[in-house]
Amino acid sequence: MRFYGYFRSSSAYRCRIAFNLKDVDYDFVSVHLRKDGGQQKQPDYRAKNPQALVPALEDGDLTLTQSLAIIEWLDETFPEKARLLPDDKDTRAKVRAFAQAIACDIHPLQNLRVLDYLKTAFGADQAALDRWCGRWISDGLAACEALLEKEPASAFCFGETPGLADICLIPQVFSAHRFGVDLSAMPRLVAIAETANALPAFANAHPRNQPDAE
Amino acid sequence: MRFYGYFRSSSAYRCRIAFNLKDVDYDFVSVHLRKDGGQQKQPDYRAKNPQALVPALEDGDLTLTQSLAIIEWLDETFPEKARLLPDDKDTRAKVRAFAQAIACDIHPLQNLRVLDYLKTAFGADQAALDRWCGRWISDGLAACEALLEKEPASAFCFGETPGLADICLIPQVFSAHRFGVDLSAMPRLVAIAETANALPAFANAHPRNQPDAE
């Protein structure tokens, strides 16, 4: 199995946590988003992922894109390993919704191509970009905190073992720290992140621990 | 079952198609995104969906958010009706990735709250907003076309019956038309949209056919 990623990409970070939790080995291929005008835009990589985004996963003839699709595929392909989605369909829907609140409505707005557009078309400086990212992260994580307030207290987002929701949350909390977002109104998310980051599966997936880290 | 939506929301439009394909009845509650300073921001609605976005679904004590999570839940809750996701796990992952390419990387960038931010913080006028939306729709749908080029020819995105990928594609094509995006380089997507829109499940879900349409 070959995994194309970038150390700082939130989507690649999610997949690394999932690989670790599932205890599945893979060969890593670095796609540097800033080198060579963006290696993700080169024809060889675009043939794998026409969106010119990381990550991509190759397994034999199968090529997959999109982190959430890759993670559910890993969970379904290795069902004997730790499950990342719950068996109960109602809880599973809530887990997916939480993951999508991050993967659809927070993270894509901080994407490199989006920030480049804001700089070029609207003359946004770094402070404006930080405010932009901060706004979506702050609003989005506040909504995630509120989603969890409806659930019984637990060590992870939905229960006592980590799963898809935590896999999405922890990279987003990392990104929140990068952009200086105040998380004091989200005590539950902060506590979950602390618990998760103490596990090797999460710690080893951290951007600073990757071979392509700068 | 109670469904909270808005006629022009792409996410609500997706859910309507899914309800129709599954032949599942629901009570519709209109959440007008432009009235009363945005009905989605009012406390009653935020208690259901803390993201202050449509849609939301209530079924007994269960409240769900996020269109893709809702659609997979419908598919799992009514498995005896037309299946929206394929049985084969590899194809299922490709369907999810295609859906997420739209739901994560195209649609959230055109969201009302994002356009409002661009107007307020960067002074974007309507022409600038149209270019912004057009760029992400155009790039995103070109990638979707390329994803389908890897698949055998078929009436719908992945096979001869409509499913989650088509449910995401058709509202995005509707939105592409709204923003005047040129789709001539995406003949496969255009053909699929034409086939889908001829079906009652898709036609009846169209924004203009909703009780809250303007």
pLDDT in tens, B73-132: 999 999 999 999 999 999 999 999 999 999 999 999 999 999 999 999 999 999 999 999
**Phi and psi at residue A2, to the nearest 5°:** -120, 130
Residues in chain B: 214
- The pLDDT mean for chain A works out to 97
Residues of A in contact with B100 (CB under 8 A): 66, 68-69, 103-104
Average pLDDT for consecutive 10-residue bins of chain B (214 residues)? 97 98 98 94 96 97 98 98 97 98 97 96 97 97 98 97 98 96 98 98 98 95
Residues of B in contact with A125 (CB under 8 A): none
Residues of A in contact with B63 (CB under 8 A): 150
Q: What is the pLDDT of residue A5?
A: 98
Interchain CB distance below 8 Å, B101 and A63? no
The HSE-up count of residue B19 (CA atoms within 13 Å, CB side) is 24
Residues of A in contact with B140 (CB under 8 A): 51
Which of A53, A105, A132, A135 to probe by mutation at the B interface, max B CB count within 10 Å? A105
As a whole number of Å, the CA-based R_g of chain A is: 17
The HSE-up count of residue A90 (CA atoms within 13 Å, CB side) is 8
Interchain CB distance below 8 Å, B73 and A92? yes
Q: Which residue has the tokens 């804001």?
A: A118
> What stretches of B40-108 adopt beta strand conformation (E)?
56-59, 62-65
Interchain CB distance below 8 Å, B93 and A70? yes
ipTM of the shown complex: 0.98
d(CA B166, CA B147): 13
d(CA A136, CA B35): 23
Q: What is the pLDDT of residue B73?
A: 98
Tokens in use for B175? Answer: 């939105």
Tokens in use for A28? Answer: 């890593």
Short-list A46, A97, A196, CA closest to B63: A97
Interchain CB distance below 8 Å, B93 and A69? yes
* CB A17 within 8 Å of CB A59: no
pLDDT in tens, A68-121: 999 999 999 999 999 999 999 999 999 999 999 999 999 999 999 999 999 999
The helix (run of H) or strand (run of E) holding residue A159 is none
Domains recognised in chain B with CATH numbers = 2-82 (3.40.30.10), 89-202 (1.20.1050.10)
Residues of A in contact with B118 (CB under 8 A): 122
Q: What is the pLDDT of residue B59?
A: 98
pLDDT average, residue stretch A31-40: 94
Q: What is the pLDDT of residue B124?
A: 97
Q: How confident is the model at residue A51 (pLDDT cuts 50, 70, 90)?
A: very high
Interchain CB distance below 8 Å, B121 and A108? no
| Of the partner residues B50, B105, B142, the one whose CB lies closest to the CB of residue A108 | B105
Interchain CB distance below 8 Å, B103 and A108? no
Q: What is the pLDDT of residue B162?
A: 98
Q: What is the pLDDT of residue B17?
A: 98
**What is the DSSP secondary-structure string of A15-39?**
HHHHHHHHT---EEEE--SSGGG-G
